[in-house]
Structure 1
Amino acid sequence: MSAVEVRALAAVQRNLAHRPGVLAGARAMSHFGEHALGWVALAGAGAVLDRPRRAQWASAAVGAVGAHAVSIAVKRVVRRPRPDHPSVRVGVSTPSKLSFPSSHATSTAAAAVLLGRLTGLPLPALLVPPMLLSRLVLGVHYPSDVLVGAALGAATAQALLTAQDRHGFPGGDR
């Protein structure tokens, strides 16, 4: 991996990881985002509580899982190993040794775009940066992994929204 990315990753850890609550918060975000399950649970709660828009909430869950699946497919093709450098501390276990793209970043960006459209809230701006930063704080991704993952998630969500708009999905023309 490029020395620039290793230095950037180590700098993030050096400047943030020691601050109170940062590692615990990053680990909590890691567990929430694992396999997009936190986003599925959140969308499921929305579907239960907001019956008139149940289909849109379900679509957000499907979109987050779909984006996660796309990231896994890309990981298996690219096969970039996770960070392994003496200046980088790993703060959480991972289900695979593959790094690119970050599946957490991908599913979070997709969920944020879809849930943001559904709720009218600026969720991409609120949710994506902390998740991306958490993956660096935990030392499990390079900066390019999280940036490309976020772009892939946003593109996946936009493709879903475009398809919904084209086919008259309820709420798709918002």
Structure 2
Amino acid sequence: MADTPRGEDAVLVAVQAALAHRPGVLPVATAMSHFGEHSLGWLAVSAAGAVAQPSRRRQWLAVGAGAFTAHAAAVVIKRVVRRPRPHHPAVAINVGTPSKLSFPSAHATSTTAAAMLLSRVTGRRLTVALVAPMLLSRMVLGVHYPTDVATGAVVGAVTAKVVQKAFEHRESRS
């Protein structure tokens, strides 16, 4: 049958079948989507941290710089790769998107970068706790393939490392 989902479409259908019907899942996933849009939620967290802890201001600003840089990197990659978002009839699209391009997930890139840098500034292991739900939410909402979110996480991790090194280098010169 031609309409049977295969490959990554089949994974999305399975994720949605397992989770989307559970109480609260779609509203939480939608809220996470809005929080992560254009990395704005992470920029707000960064700004709040910089205001609340002036002695660690640069570290908090690195969180925002990392999230924004990761988001920008994802946008550039999307424009080069031009992979369309999921569109199989069996995949429910549960949220609007600003673009029809999916690879990589900018939510995954900015969240991974922010989480890694937040882990450094707070001294807590936050990466898995923050990244895994965001990656899963993108699939529950039907707007990204598994490889979109996985690649987004890798791009975000690399971006976080580069931003961290840049901030460390700048501080060592101060």
Corresponding position of 2:168 = 165
Aligned-residue RMSD, C-alpha: 1.3
Corresponding position of 1:98 = 101
Matched, 1:22 2:25: yes
Q: Give the length in aligned residue pairs.
A: 169
Provide the C-alpha distance between the structure 1 equivalents of 2:22 and 2:112, rounded to a whole number of angstroms: 26
Give TM-score, length-normalised by structure 2.
Answer: 0.94
Deviation at 1:59, TM superposition (A): 1.6
Aligned residue type for 2:123:
G
Aligned residue type for 2:36:
G
| Correspondent of 1:156 among 149, 156, 159 | 159
Matched, 1:39 2:65: no
Corresponding position of 1:116 = 119
Corresponding position of 1:7 = 10
Provide closer, same or farther for how the CA distance between residues 89 and 76 of structure 1 changes in structure 2, counting only shifts above 3 A.
same
Provide the C-alpha distance between the structure 2 equivalents of 1:160 and 1:105, rounded to a whole number of angstroms: 16
Residues 72-91 of structure 1: pairs in structure 2 closer than 5 A? 72-91=75-94
Corresponding position of 1:130 = 133
Corresponding position of 2:74 = 71
Query: Which secondary structure does the structure 2 equivalent of 1:168 belong to?
Result: helix
Corresponding position of 2:61 = 58
- The answer (yes or no) to whether the contact 2:62–2:164 under 8 Å persists in 1 is no
Provide closer, same or farther for how the CA distance between residues 169 and 48 of structure 1 changes in structure 2, counting only shifts above 3 A.
farther
Aligned residue type for 1:102:
S
- The answer (yes or no) to whether the contact 2:104–2:148 under 8 Å persists in 1 is yes
Unpaired segments ≥5 residues, structure 1: none
Corresponding position of 1:48 = 51
Provide the C-alpha distance between the structure 2 equivalents of 1:14 and 1:87, rounded to a whole number of angstroms: 10
Deviates more, 1:87-96 or 1:49-58: 49-58
Give TM-score, length-normalised by structure 1.
Answer: 0.94
Deviation at 1:55, TM superposition (A): 1.4
Deviation at 1:169, TM superposition (A): 5.0
Deviation at 1:167, TM superposition (A): 3.9
Provide the C-alpha distance between the structure 2 equivalents of 1:127 and 1:20, rounded to a whole number of angstroms: 20
Unpaired segments ≥5 residues, structure 2: none
| Correspondent of 1:141 among 141, 144, 151 | 144
Deviations 1:31-54 (A, max 9, x none): 000000000001111011101011
Deviation at 1:168, TM superposition (A): 3.3
- The answer (yes or no) to whether the contact 2:62–2:167 under 8 Å persists in 1 is no
